Structure 1
Amino acid sequence: MSMLQNYQMHLTVPTGKAAKLLKFCYFILLVLLVSCGETKTKNTAETKQDLEQAKDTLVKNKATKTILCFGDSITAGYGLDDVNDAYTGVLQKRIDSLSLNYTVINSGVSGETTAGGKSRINWVIKQKPTIFLLELGANDGLRGVPLTETQSNLQAIINVVKEKSPETTIILAGMQLPPNMGQDYTTKFRAIFKDVATKNNIEFIPFILENVGGIASLNQRDGIHPNKDGHKIVANNVWEVLKPLL
């Protein structure tokens, strides 16, 4: 088997610009193999460097940036027939329509609290996303978790992201509670998210369920989780903050 055949067997078959680049690399390699018996104008070290540069370019062309949505049932798309109808899927379709090189990762878990998020963030952040959307806290509020605990957990999650993936841009999604939880608690709960975002100098969505929360036609029968139409509006709320970052 010739060197050229062996080289071809160990490369995947790319498309588009990467394919053209690979064909060019094949041509250059063939020329080098033919001419090596006739001239010494290019040494082995230089040839190796050229091939490594071509390989690096191919890898970069295949690379994609990621947007990791780390949340609860809202992110998970609870109650929907198709998880792609959740706001994460709506965002992916919009991103694809604009030919942006981003993949949205849905890391939502129904029933998740900030404590649960704190316990799993260390292995989730190993993906080192380009953008990290933190959407947690609603279940804390509905369960009456002490406000200091919720704030402490949100901060702990942010600390891990900053430490493990310092180049990641963080977005915090704000949350509000229905009035039946008590005026004092709901007011202080709402303020937690803005305080945490300000303290950490991170991107902030004031209320991820803006124009959805409390509107029966945009929620499922439980009155809490957005339906398909509701998720489209949630996606718009996220997009207002996300778009400038892309």
Structure 2
Amino acid sequence: MLLRLLLIVLLLGPVTATVAAEAPRIAVLGDSLSAAYGLERERDGWVALLQDRLADEGHPHKVINAATSGDTTRQGLNRLADLLEAHDPEVLVVQLGGNDGLRALPPAETRRNLSAIIEMGQSAGAEVLLVGIRLPPNYGPAYNERFEALFHELADDYGIPLVPFLLEGIATEGGLMQDDRIHPNAEAQPKMLELVWPELAPLL
């Protein structure tokens, strides 16, 4: 009997490992908003909550949080090839641009970088979800309007889903933001996930 059990374990072990290795992946290429700046990244951030939501709803996907605080679109683009090679994601969530805007980089430059990211993701066989951001009003209406529009233009050009503003209904609520008024707190993270989920779920 013991010998039979050992044989079963030996036979099933590789199968289980193969199934785990082949679980589809969702990669999140983002900045501090996805890196859960100031919070417990693996517990409180919206990306961590996404992994819980997938499990609760019976999806086998594994979430790869490739967000790095402070990243611009150029820095994200520079990291993307390694991310795609290492994880071969089924879905690529692109949440970048905020740091470009805060540094007042030309919107055309941000657009070029995001275009390259989207094209690389699609060429690798990933479904791409674009997540937009808006800037504080002190950057001026002309710059802000051009910056916000580029996300919509890219979504239309590439036929990909868009979350227009990751902090919709959050950024203006003091109780949902950290003291720096830039980063959302733990209470805001489930709301961020609720903004992303309707656009992400059809890609699974």
- Shorter-chain TM-score above 0.5: yes
Of the three residues 62, 84, 101, the one matched with 1:125 is: 84
1:13 match: secondary structure: helix
| 1:189 maps to 2:160 | no
Distance in 2 (CA, whole Å) between partners of 1:116 and 1:161 is: 15
Runs of 4+ in structure 1 off by over 3 angstroms are 7-12, 58-62
> What amino acid maps onto 1:109 in structure 2?
T
1:88 match: secondary structure: helix
> What amino acid maps onto 1:243 in structure 2?
A
Higher relative contact order (CA 8 A, sep 6+): 2
Distance in 2 (CA, whole Å) between partners of 1:155 and 1:62 is: 30
1:59 CA drift (Å): 3.5
Shift in CA distance, 115/82, structure 1 to aligned 2, threshold 3 Å: closer
| 1:154 maps to 2:114 | yes
Contact 2:121 2:127 in 1 (8 A): no
Equivalence for 1:26: none
Distance in 2 (CA, whole Å) between partners of 1:202 and 1:67 is: 15
Normalised by the length of structure 2, the TM-score is 0.90
1:243 CA drift (Å): 1.8
Normalised by the length of structure 1, the TM-score is 0.75
Q: Root-mean-square deviation (CA), in Å?
A: 2.3
Q: Deviations over 1:177-219 (max 9, x none)?
A: 1101111000110000010111011111111111111211111
Q: Deviations over 1:76-116 (max 9, x none)?
A: 11000343211001111111111211111111000000010
Equivalence for 2:197: 239
> What amino acid maps onto 1:98 in structure 2?
E
Count how many residue pairs are aligned between Structure 1 and Structure 2.
Answer: 200
> What amino acid maps onto 1:154 in structure 2?
L
| Unpaired runs of at least 5, structure 1 | 20-57
| Unpaired runs of at least 5, structure 2 | none
